[in-house]
């Protein structure tokens, strides 16, 4: 179930379980090629007083006709603006893969407005200053598909359907362009919010030191937890992950 949100927030976020008087809002940022439904099942695993919002980026679902931003900054700017009307309650951010970097950039913008998130959860992504440049977004379709299939053992079968692959590819390529061309400033901005990093033990998209390096993005405290599984460990480990996450939302 979704319900309406105020102003521009309606375009940017889906609320799968409305809470009349939420103690806190958990805002989830999807992976490259992903949409808000990636977090739909989470509502049932969160405390009753935590409201779950999931971001819908341009170019997918009911925003399919909207152009996808060319840069990650051009995505983070309106996301942060859309969150401002929702800051009547404390907010925590959770981002997976590309969404982890989006969460970091959105948190930086919120803090410039004087709103420090309760916590920023970053999942399945190396720290911004540990990610080398990439060129998959400029390569052949099959090379991009093969790279995603190697990384994603949970949704791999989606690419077996040629019609579905044709629909997904433009969004995936545009998202990869955003993340592969993103560069943090030479002096890495640090959040006041505490950061928790989650990683899969078999994730080939980063090494343990890359995930540990998120500690350099905050002055508010840092913790890393490694789960069994690969890049999309959060799907089979959903129950355990949400239990861990909930302990930081108290």
Query: Dihedral of CA 84/4/66/165: which sign?
Result: positive
Q: What pLDDT score does 183 carry?
A: 95
Q: Tell me whether residue 66 is in a domain.
A: yes
Q: How confident is the model at residue 2 (pLDDT cuts 50, 70, 90)?
A: very low
Q: pLDDT for 11-66, tens place per residue?
A: 999 998 889 899 999 999 999 999 999 999 999 999 999 999 999 999 998 999 99
Catalytic center residues: 97
CATH (domain of 198): 3.40.50.1820
Integer Cα distance of 24 and 29 in angstroms: 16
pLDDT > 60? residue 7: no
Residue 119 lies in a domain: yes
Percentage of the residues of the chain whose pLDDT score is greater than 70: 95
139 belongs to a structural domain: no
Lowest mean pLDDT across 6-15, 59-68, 231-240: 6-15
Q: How many whole angstroms separate alpha carbon 184 and alpha carbon 205? A: 18
Return the pLDDT at 6.
54
Average pLDDT, rounded, for the chain: 92
d(CA 121, CA 134): 24
**Tens digits of per-residue pLDDT, 142-164?**
888 888 888 877 676 777 788 88
Domain for residue 169, yes or no?
Answer: no
In the chain, the percentage of residues whose pLDDT exceeds 90 is: 78
Asked whether the predicted pLDDT for residue 122 surpasses 80, the reply is yes
> Hey, what are 239's tokens?
């129950």
Which carries the bigger pLDDT value, residue 166 or residue 237? 237
DSSP state of 114: T
Strand 13-17 vs strand 50-55: parallel, antiparallel, or unpaired? antiparallel
Number of domains in the chain: 1
SS3 assignment, position 155: coil
**Exposure of 175 in the CB half-sphere (CA atoms within 13 A):** 24
Pairing status of strand 50-55 against strand 222-227: unpaired
For position 134, what pLDDT does the model report? 86
Domain extent at residue 34: 9-131+186-247
pLDDT at 168: 86
> Does position 79 have pLDDT exceeding 60, yes or no?
yes
Cα Dmax for the chain: 49
Note whether residue 142 is domain-resident: no
| Three-state DSSP state, 246 | helix
50 strand-pairing partners: 24
pLDDT band, very low/low/confident/very high, at 129 (cuts 50, 70, 90): very high
Q: Is residue 180 part of a domain?
A: no
Are 214 and 127 contacting, i.e. CB atoms less than 8 angstroms apart? yes
Residue-level pLDDT at 250? 80
Q: Does some domain include residue 46?
A: yes
For 85-116, what is each residue's pLDDT tens digit?
999 999 999 999 999 999 999 999 999 999 99
Phi, psi dihedral angles at 195 (to 5 degrees): -125, 130
Is 39 a member of any domain? yes
């Amino acid at each position: 179930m979704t319900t309406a949100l105020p102003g521009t927030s309606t375009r940017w976020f889906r609320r799968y379980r409305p809470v009349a008087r939420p103690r806190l809002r958990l805002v989830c940022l999807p992976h490259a090629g992903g949409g808000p439904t990636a977090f739909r099942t989470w509502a049932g695993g969160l405390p009753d007083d935590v409201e779950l919002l999931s971001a819908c980026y341009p170019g997918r679902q009911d925003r399919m006709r909207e152009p996808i931003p060319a840069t990650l900054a051009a995505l983070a700017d309106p996301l942060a603006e859309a969150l401002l009307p929702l800051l009547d309650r404390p907010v925590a951010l959770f981002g997976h893969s590309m969404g982890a970097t989006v969460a970091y950039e959105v948190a930086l913008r919120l803090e410039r407005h004087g709103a420090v998130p309760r916590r920023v959860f970053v999942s399945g992504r190396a720290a911004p200053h540990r990610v080398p440049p990439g060129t998959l977004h400029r390569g052949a379709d099959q090379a991009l598909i093969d790279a995603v299939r190697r990384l994603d053992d949970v949704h791999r079968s989606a690419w077996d359907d040629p019609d579905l692959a044709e629909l997904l590819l433009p969004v995936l390529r545009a998202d990869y362009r955003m993340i592969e061309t993103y560069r943090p400033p030479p002096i890495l901005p640090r959040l006041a919010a505490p950061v928790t990093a989650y990683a899969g033990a078999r994730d080939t998209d980063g090494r343990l030191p890359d995930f540990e390096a998120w500690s350099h993005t905050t002055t508010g405290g840092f913790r890393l937890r490694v789960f069994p599984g690969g890049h999309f460990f959060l799907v089979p480990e959903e129950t355990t992950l949400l239990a861990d996450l909930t302990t930081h939302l108290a």
